[in-house]
C-alpha cells in the first residue's frame, strides 16, 4: 500500500502539494483528479521519487520511496510527456528498461507492440503523440511493476486505444494485482475504470474515497416543494448546491440515499427525485464547496 502522510512540496512561494495524506491500496485503480494546477503531477512525481518532499513522507509498504531502488523497482512512472532517448526506437527503450527493471517482460512487449500495430524498430520521434503514449504504456505494463503511475496518460489516445489500455490494466490487475494510479482531469475517462478517487485542489486533498462510496454519498435531488416552503425548510439535508427554476428545486446534497430519502419524506414535497451524480458533477460540487466556482470561469 502506498501511504502519504502530510506530504508537502513547495516551489519557491508556491505550495504545490500541501500536507496531503492518502492511502492507495493495491489491486485497485486510484484516480487522481483535480483542477489545473491542483498538484496532481507534483503528487505523482513525489510518489515516484523524482521529487524529494519538503515535509511528510511517501512510503510503499512502510518503506520510503526517495532513493530506494528496491521500492522504486515496484512502480513505473509514465509522465505527462514521457521522455524517450533521442533517435531511439521502442526496441532500444525496451533494452534500456530491461536493464533497470529486472521483471521486464520482453515477449509481452513485442506482443503488445504488434497488437498495437507499432513498429518497434521505427524511431519514436517519428511517432504521433498518441503512438508515443501507447509506447510508454506498453513499456509501463511490461516493466512488471506492482504500481503504474500514469500522468494524463489517456490524453491523446483515441477511444479504441483508451479502451484497449483500460483492458490491459484490468487484465494486469486480475493477473498480477497491478495498481494503476491515474492522474487526469478527464473525469469521464476515469469514471469507468477507477475504484478509488483522490480529489486534489490547490495542493490539498479534498477527499479520497471509493468511487462507489462517493457516488452513494452525494446526490442530485430534484423536487417541487409545497407552497411556502423553501430549501432551508428541508431539515436533515446537507445541501452543497442549490438551483431554483420556477418551483423546481435542484439540490446537490451530501449523505446516504436512505438518509436523504427519509429527510425528503419528512418534508412531504409535491415531487421529488434522486438522480445519481457523474464523477464530473461530484468533482464540480466538491470543488465549488471550497471556492472553485465553475460559473465564474464560464461567465
* Pairing relationship of beta strands 75-78 and 248-254 according to DSSP bridges: unpaired
Interface with another protein in residues 97-126 (CB under 8 A): 97, 99-102
Rounded Cα distance, 119 and 122, in Å: 6
* Most distant CA pair in the chain, distance: 73
CB of 26 to another protein, least distance (A): 18
Nearest to 247 by CA among 264, 231, 265, 267: 231
15 interacts with another protein by CB under 8 A: no
- The values of phi and psi at residue 200, to 5°, are -100, 140
Q: Which residue, 49 or 203, has its beta carbon nearer to another protein?
A: 49
Rounded Cα distance, 178 and 24, in Å: 12
CB of 225 to another protein, least distance (A): 53
Q: Which residue, 83 or 159, has its beta carbon nearer to another protein?
A: 83
Rounded Cα distance, 179 and 177, in Å: 6
Task: Extract the C-alpha cell encoding 285.
Answer: 460540487
49 interacts with another protein by CB under 8 A: yes
203 interacts with another protein by CB under 8 A: no
Going edge to edge, which strands form the sheet with 196-201? 75-78, 147-151, 179-184, 30-34, 196-201, 204-210
Q: Which residue, 53 or 269, has its beta carbon nearer to another protein?
A: 53
| Helix, strand or coil, per DSSP, at residue 71 | helix
43 interacts with another protein by CB under 8 A: no
Count residues contacting another protein (CB under 8 A)? 29
CB of 58 to another protein, least distance (A): 13
Q: Is 196 buried (19+), middle (13-18) or exposed (0-12) by CB count in 10 A?
A: buried
CB of 86 to another protein, least distance (A): 7
45 interacts with another protein by CB under 8 A: yes
Long-range contacts of the stretch 226-234 (C-beta < 8 A, 24+): 226/267, 226/268, 226/269, 226/270, 229/267, 229/269, 233/267, 234/263, 234/264, 234/267
Site string for another protein, 66-95 (x = CB under 8 A): -x-xxxxx--xx-x-xxx-xx-----x---
12 interacts with another protein by CB under 8 A: yes
40 interacts with another protein by CB under 8 A: no
Of positions 1, 23, 52, 63, contacts another protein by CB under 8 A: 52
Q: Which residue, 31 or 144, has its beta carbon nearer to another protein?
A: 144
The residues that touch another protein, with contacts defined as CB under 8 A, are: 11-12, 45, 48-52, 67, 69-73, 76-77, 79, 81-83, 85-86, 92, 96-97, 99-102
Amino acid at each position: 500500500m502506498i501511504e502519504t502522510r502530510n506530504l508537502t512540496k513547495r516551489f519557491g512561494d508556491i505550495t504545490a502539494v500541501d500536507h496531503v495524506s492518502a492511502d492507495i491500496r493495491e489491486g485497485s485503480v486510484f484516480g487522481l483528479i483535480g483542477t489545473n494546477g491542483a498538484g496532481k503531477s507534483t503528487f505523482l512525481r513525489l510518489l515516484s521519487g523524482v521529487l524529494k518532499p519538503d515535509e511528510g513522507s511517501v512510503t510503499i509498504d512502510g518503506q520510503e520511496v526517495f532513493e530506494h531502488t528496491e521500492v522504486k523497482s515496484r512502480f513505473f512512472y509514465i509522465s505527462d510527456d514521457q521522455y524517450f532517448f533521442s533517435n531511439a526506437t521502442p526496441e532500444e527503450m525496451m533494452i534500456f528498461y530491461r536493464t533497470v527493471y529486472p521483471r521486464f517482460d520482453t515477449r509481452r512487449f513485442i506482443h503488445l507492440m504488434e497488437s498495437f500495430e507499432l513498429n518497434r524498430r521505427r524511431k519514436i520521434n517519428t511517432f504521433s503523440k498518441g503512438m508515443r503514449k501507447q509506447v510508454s504504456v506498453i513499456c509501463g505494463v511490461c516493466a512488471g511493476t506492482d504500481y503504474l503511475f500514469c500522468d494524463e496518460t489517456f490524453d491523446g489516445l483515441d477511444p479504441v486505444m483508451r479502451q484497449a489500455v483500460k483492458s490491459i490494466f484490468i487484465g494486469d490487475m486480475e493477473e498480477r494485482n497491478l495498481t494503476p494510479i491515474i492522474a487526469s482531469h478527464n473525469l469521464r475517462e476515469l469514471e469507468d475504470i477507477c475504484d478509488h478517487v483522490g480529489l486534489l485542489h490547490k495542493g490539498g486533498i479534498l477527499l479520497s474515497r471509493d468511487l462507489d462510496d462517493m457516488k452513494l454519498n452525494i446526490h442530485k435531488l430534484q423536487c417541487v416543494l409545497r407552497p411556502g416552503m423553501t430549501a432551508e425548510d428541508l431539515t436533515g439535508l446537507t445541501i452543497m448546491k442549490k438551483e431554483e427554476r420556477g418551483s423546481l428545486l435542484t439540490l446537490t446534497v451530501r449523505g446516504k440515499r436512505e438518509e436523504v430519502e427519509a429527510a425528503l419524506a419528512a418534508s412531504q414535497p409535491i415531487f421529488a427525485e434522486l438522480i445519481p451524480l457523474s464523477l464530473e458533477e461530484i468533482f464540480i460540487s466538491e470543488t465549488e464547496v471550497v471556492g472553485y466556482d465553475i460559473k465564474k470561469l464560464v461567465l
